[in-house]
Amino acid sequence: MANVVTNDMSIVIGGDAGQGVESSGAGFCLSFARAGLHVFGIQDYRSRIRGGHNFYQIRLSERPRLSHSNPVHLVLALTPETVDLHLDRLAPGGAVIFPERFGIDPAPAEARGVRVDSLPLMRIAEEHGSKVMTNTAALGAAAGITEFPIAYMEQVIRDNFAAKGSDTVEANIKVANAAYRVARERYGADFPFKLAPVKDAPKRMLINGNEAFAMGALAGGCRFMAAYPMTPATSIIEWLAALPHEYGVVTKHAEDEIAAACMAIGASFAGARAMTATSGGGFCLMVEAMGLAGMTEVPLVIVESQRGGPSTGLPTRTEQSDLLFAINASHGESPRIVTAPGTVADCFEAGWRSFNLADKYQCPVVVLVDQALSSSLVTLDMDGIDFSQVEIDRGATLSHEQLDSLTDGYKRFAFSDSGVSPRAVPGHPAAVFAASSDEHDEVGHITEEIENRRRMMAKRMRKLDQALADDIRSPELHGPDGADVTLVCWGSTFGACLEAAHEINASGGSANVLRFLDVWPIPEEAATAALSRCRRTVVVEQNYTAQLAKLIRMTTGVKVDDSLTKYDGRPFAPEEIAAGLGKEVASGHKA
């Protein structure tokens, strides 16, 4: 047998929608996370409930991983199509496991040095349970061939199937064990990729970006959310709605995204920390309301989890094509902050930080994530979510006590150097006011008077200068200074870029990563300075038009040297980035 590699591999489980690929994949991830392995799991599925190829790709390692990776080492095929679709991605020495009745031709795989192993998975499932447990059999077989202790999987089966009764639990456990034994006996000795529990590993959460964001929002005091279901943002409201009632989070599934954004604005106007979440199509419907929040200086948090557009596009897949849209959304000119978390830990921070920004600058804050970040399951250390770090900063929001001591007539939109005016929420006799989407004076009355218009417009827009001075984060440089190539990125591609840079540096090349965390207002001076220190810059973006490169050029005049874009809806793997840069970059030598 070739050299054994332990705890560094990727597994694909693929099948038709409705075969339990997603739940099997998530359960599988959990069993590895509990064994102390670091997990990065991506879902790849189509916009349908039954039929059509789906897969789950799980990367396993003893160190934290920031993206999925190719090649893969083991494919669990629940349909014949899975074998065809994933064969090209298998590493030499890898294997495909599939049920006995598929009739797969092994020749193409064997030509690649990959083994195709027919196992009696359906028979095992039928013998110990029922045919629907074929996926459990496949997972058991995967544990067998990698020699990963079946006990972890048994525990996940107990947890996940408990509600279905002990018969279902026991049948699944029997199926998993039977498949485990067969696979291990038949192939275990020959398969070079192994998985083993990590001794003394700390407990880790298995969590995705949406869940981490929702936790951050909760800890940040958000107690109102309205949304209309839209993949891949839906799990945010689902998570908050499922919380115990004592947390007091009011969630409203609204009649459409317009209503969702408006309900959040109404709740925020009344004094709550309120948000909505959607994807690009829903965000299209929200932008008029977003302008209202900008004009009337109402804090509002909008999560925009991007997916493949335009129109319905690739509804279950990832893209970063709404950057310029978010920055420019809504007619006229109004202030907004756009931030772009890149990791699950970033999402937690964005959850509470966004509300602080919204309150401090009394404007909309758009959190741009994407399907890859929203849905990928990642292991996170327990202190990766640190509630004690959460601050609730309400900015210039007036407390009841401050309102009690108001002497002069209250001016909700008072002119100020920072552009921010002390904000009262309805309910105090000293601060009765009306806000209007029409241009208004300091009190809030509608006026079209010239001087007032000039001053009021400037006041609103000035808030962004204040945000730049106080809160907007400069782009972060990761990796060695003075590298030959700098990968410039924003949002979820950060993980794959960082891994690509590591890979390039490990193989003799020289690369680092410059990532933008806050994308509007763009930190022009810091961006110019950071970019001017780079030798060769390449933006890496999941869109067609290299939107970050355009934004950088538009705001700083700096032209990024090259762009590596991808708009097929599938997230970048580090190997694709390295390959996209060309051989000379990857190796540091001229070809």
Partner 1 sequence: MVTRLDPKLFDSTAEVTWCAGCGDFAILKALKQAFADLAILRALKIAFADLDILPHQALVVSGIGCGSKLPDYMTVNGYMTIHGRPLPIATGAKLASPGLHVVVVNGDGDSYGIGGNHFVQTCRRNPDITQIVENNQIYGLTKGQYSPTSDKGFITTTSPDGAIEPAFNPMAVAIAAGATFVARAFAGQPKHVAQMIEEGIQHRGYALIDVLQPCVTFNRVNTYDFYRQRVYNLADEGHDPTDREAAWRKAYEWEERIPLGVLYRADGLPTYDDQVKTLDGGSPVSRLTELAKDPRPAQYESLKDGFL
Chain residues 428-447 in contact with partner 1, contact rule CB under 8 A: 428-429, 431-438, 444-446
Chain residues 249-268 in contact with partner 1, contact rule CB under 8 A: 249-252, 254-256, 258-260, 262-268
Residues that bind partner 1 (rule: CB under 8 A) add up to a total of 74
Site string for partner 1, 226-245 (x = CB under 8 A): x----------------x-x
Nearer to partner 1, 255 or 584 (CB): 255
- Residue 480 makes CB contacts below 8 A (sequence gap 6+) with 505, 510, 512
Does 248 participate in binding partner 1 (rule CB under 8 A)? yes
Q: Are 382 and 202 in contact (CB under 8 A)?
A: yes
Q: Which of 4, 162, 392, 554 binds partner 1 (CB under 8 A)?
A: 392
Find the helix or strand (DSSP H, E) in which 80 lies. Answer: helix 80-86
Assigned token pair, 110: 């064997």
**Which residue in 514, 518, 516, 508 sits closest to 479, CA to CA?**
514
Q: By three-state DSSP, how is residue 581 classified?
A: helix
Chain residues 292-321 in contact with partner 1, contact rule CB under 8 A: 292, 296
Q: By three-state DSSP, how is residue 8 classified?
A: strand
Q: Which of 158, 186, 394, 478 binds partner 1 (CB under 8 A)?
A: 394
Assigned token pair, 117: 């192993």
Q: How far is the CB of 384 from partner 1 (least distance, A)?
A: 10
Q: Which of 26, 219, 302, 338 binds partner 1 (CB under 8 A)?
A: 219
Q: Which of 385, 489, 517, 546 binds partner 1 (CB under 8 A)?
A: 385
Residue type, 375: S
Q: How far is the CB of 117 from partner 1 (least distance, A)?
A: 33
Q: Which of 1, 163, 199, 247 binds partner 1 (CB under 8 A)?
A: 247
Does 12 participate in binding partner 1 (rule CB under 8 A)? no
**Which residue in 288, 295, 274 sits closest to 227, CA to CA?**
274
CA angle 86, 305, 562 (to 5 degrees): 70
Q: Which of 217, 289, 337, 358 binds partner 1 (CB under 8 A)?
A: 289
Q: Which of 207, 363, 581, 586 binds partner 1 (CB under 8 A)?
A: 207
Does 330 participate in binding partner 1 (rule CB under 8 A)? no
- Residue 316 makes CB contacts below 8 A (sequence gap 6+) with 45, 46, 47, 231, 232, 307, 371
Q: How far is the CB of 265 from partner 1 (least distance, A)?
A: 6
Distance of alpha carbon 328 from alpha carbon 323, whole angstroms? 9
Neighbours of 19 (CB within 10 A): 20
With contacts defined by CB under 8 A, name the span among 95-103, 272-280, 491-499, 569-577 that binds partner 1.
Answer: 272-280
Chain residues 398-417 in contact with partner 1, contact rule CB under 8 A: 399-400
Chain residues 525-584 in contact with partner 1, contact rule CB under 8 A: none
Does 388 participate in binding partner 1 (rule CB under 8 A)? yes
Site string for partner 1, 472-501 (x = CB under 8 A): ------------------------------
With contacts defined by CB under 8 A, name the span among 52-60, 313-321, 427-435, 540-548 that binds partner 1.
Answer: 427-435
Nearer to partner 1, 374 or 563 (CB): 374
Q: What DSSP string runs through 109-151?
A: HHHTT-EEEEE-HHHHHHHHS-GGGHHHHHHHHHHHHHT--HH
Does 75 participate in binding partner 1 (rule CB under 8 A)? no
Does 426 participate in binding partner 1 (rule CB under 8 A)? yes
Assigned token pair, 484: 């030959």
Find the helix or strand (DSSP H, E) in which 494 lies. Answer: helix 493-506
Chain residues 13-42 in contact with partner 1, contact rule CB under 8 A: 34
Does 449 participate in binding partner 1 (rule CB under 8 A)? no
- Residue 354 makes CB contacts below 8 A (sequence gap 6+) with 217, 220, 275, 301, 339, 365, 367
Q: How far is the CB of 588 from partner 1 (least distance, A)?
A: 40
Nearer to partner 1, 162 or 529 (CB): 162
Distance of alpha carbon 340 from alpha carbon 306, whole angstroms? 11
Q: By three-state DSSP, how is residue 252 classified?
A: strand
Nearer to partner 1, 192 or 395 (CB): 395
